[in-house]
Amino acid sequence: MITGTGGPIESQETPLSYNGHVFFTVICACSAQYLSTELQGKLEHELGEKTQALTERYHRVSRELYSIIPPGRSHLHSVQYLLHSCYWYKSEARFMECWYSLSAAIREAQEIGIHQEASMLDISDFEREMYRRVWCVLDTWDWQMSALLSRPLMIDRTCCKVGLPELTLEGTTLSPLLHLKLQSELIRKLFNRFGPTRNVVESVDIQEFQKMLEDWMMKFPPIFDLDNPDYSQDTLCPWIPLHRYYIHTMGYSMILDPLRVRLATSIDTKTASKIEFQIRTDGIDYALKLMDVLRGFFNHVWPRDAKFHFVIFSIFDTSALYSSILVHDEDGSVPKRQEMLDSLDMAVDMIKHLRTIAPNFQLYYKILNRLRLKVQGKVSMNPKVTEPPRKCLKYTVSKSTSLLPDICAAPSTIPTCYNQSPAVGSHNEEYTASMARLSNAGLGPDPLAQPNHGSQRYHPSHGTHSVHEASIVGQPPMAQSSMSKNIQSLSNLDDGSVEQAMFASISEEELGNLAELWRWQDLDLGLIDHSNS
């Protein structure tokens, strides 16, 4: 037992139940991050405390309880606790704490021997499956966080021998862990072929890496299909739409990972090889596809889930990649410049109206605003476009579960996503204020598209053309070029004059935690001052 003063664990049987208690507490912390509006209002009224304070207190208590467990008392529940703590930090956009929590979870799992399946011969099939599931999550998150933070992998995969989970415990055909199993399977193949992604630098390796990702994505099960996903299970299994956006996002992000440095480098059209041109063209195509998926991802999580930092950061990072591509376009030969310009403009406008919600969003807006100016200066000096202009008013039904506009649609004409979970209950003040800011920008849910309190979802096969038409009634047409459209508005930037914003550098000190998260060095933007680093 634990004494009232937090004394030592006394009995040999206590660690299991105590670890379970710690695990339960962190589950409460994570659950409090993702409450429905109705339940959030009810809890805040009954407890007299904001849910943000509640989730922070639950997490703090779980940390205090975990700290009492003596070293050497490792248990599966301890690993699960650390994984949930990692998830909690990620949802709070505290990525460095997330990284350290993940590291601790990996070391704890290795203490138990989860990474060496042959060492656990006397365990039940259920335990073996649970160990495999935990390692599947650790394996996937290690790869993701290492790429996100530009840090070395924590797992030495040459010393690991663990099977993939069977995913049959649920008794259903679909498991909530399917998307991670698919990614873990891919990661093992990539590592066996290339080792860490940083080894993929030669053109032939980049194209082989790209082909492996493409083949993997083309073999997605029907519910995750890239072109024509099966929506029939979305209501029965509400996690599917989120996981669909997630796995599409991760697929395109992983393809772009070894391409980033290439895309941020100028190409001499007179001496460059065909393979260099092809890599650049493919990279731009995948960056545009990634942004299209991210817009659907954002529409899905907003406003139901307030913890969408990863999605917004990905939109910011992809927009910065566009900026780097355009800034390094010395001769106007970069394809699809207009699509990138329009997509960059959309991202700037979106983040502008989100900047008061979280501190990082204000910094994202500041950086993207300056990048937009820099790109505008570059494009004005090199205006030639080697492709015909796009028909920017063309709307099509997205192949995802959302009804999304063409990627070049103006920020003020972005219709809403129809696959969000039903709105329930009354909105609290913060929610209403945030919704008002997005609605004023044309980014919030369209009142015409708000579902009732039932569970019906929209997807393209329902053919609701009348709703589609209503969603764009009365919305202003887009100018021929979104960049030229904003020339006048650029003179009224919050950060000062156009000239000041265009040439001013941002120090690493100003970047704060973003300097540890954002791979700005790869993009060679000439915007970050690291003279003192």
pLDDT in tens, 276-292: 999 999 999 999 999 99
Distance of CA 429 to the CA centre of its chain: 27
Residue 529 backbone dihedrals phi, psi, to 5 degrees: -90, 110
Q: Which parts of the chain register pLDDT below 50?
A: 1-16, 385-432, 434-435, 437, 439-503, 533
- Contact assessment for residue 34 and residue 51, using Cβ atoms and an 8 Å cutoff: no
Which among 418, 402, 391, 404 is positioned nearest to 477, based on CA atoms?
A: 391
Q: How many CB atoms lie within 10 A of CB 526?
A: 11
Residue 512: its pLDDT value, please?
60
277-282: which pairs have CB atoms within 8 A and are 24 or more residues apart?
Answer: 278/207, 279/203, 279/206, 279/207, 280/334, 281/335, 282/210
User: Among 293, 292, 284, which residue's Cα sits nearest to residue 337?
Assistant: 284
Cis check for the bond before 359: say yes or no (omega within 30 of 0). Answer: no
What pLDDT is recorded for position 57?
96
**Cα(147)–Cα(209) distance, integer angstroms:** 15
Identify which of 350, 355, 398, 351 has the alpha carbon closest to the alpha carbon of residue 245: 398
Strand, coil or helix: what is 371?
helix
Give the distance from CA 163 to its chain's centroid. Answer: 27
* pLDDT score, position 519: 58
pLDDT computed for residue 96 by the predictor? 87
Contact between 523 and 325 under an 8 Å Cβ cutoff? The reply is: no
Map out the domains of the chain as residue ranges. 1-163, 264-447+464-533
Tens of pLDDT, residue by residue over 26-84, are: 999 999 998 888 999 999 999 999 999 999 999 999 999 999 888 777 788 899 999 99
Amino acid 134: pLDDT: 96
H or E element, residue 17: helix 14-33
Which H or E run includes 529?
strand 528-529
1: buried, middle or exposed (CB in 10 Å: 19+, 13-18, 0-12)?
exposed
pLDDT at residue 7, as a whole number: 38
Residue pair 527/374 in contact by the 8 Å Cβ criterion:
yes
N-term to C-term CA, the chain: 50
CA gap 299, 443 in Å, rounded: 9
pLDDT at residue 436 in the model:
52
Which residue, 409, 413, 402, 405, is CA-closest to 460?
402
What lies within 8 Å, CB to CB, of 404 at 6+ separation is 292, 295, 296, 299, 398, 414, 415, 417
Q: Which two tokens stand for residue 28?
A: 């409460």
Cβ-contact 138, 83 below 8 angstroms: yes
Q: What are phi and psi of 528, to 5 degrees?
A: -100, 125
* pLDDT for residue 204: 95
Cis status, amide bond into 258, omega within 30 of 0: no
Q: How high is the pLDDT of residue 525? A: 59
Question: Residue 507: helix, strand or coil by DSSP?
Answer: strand
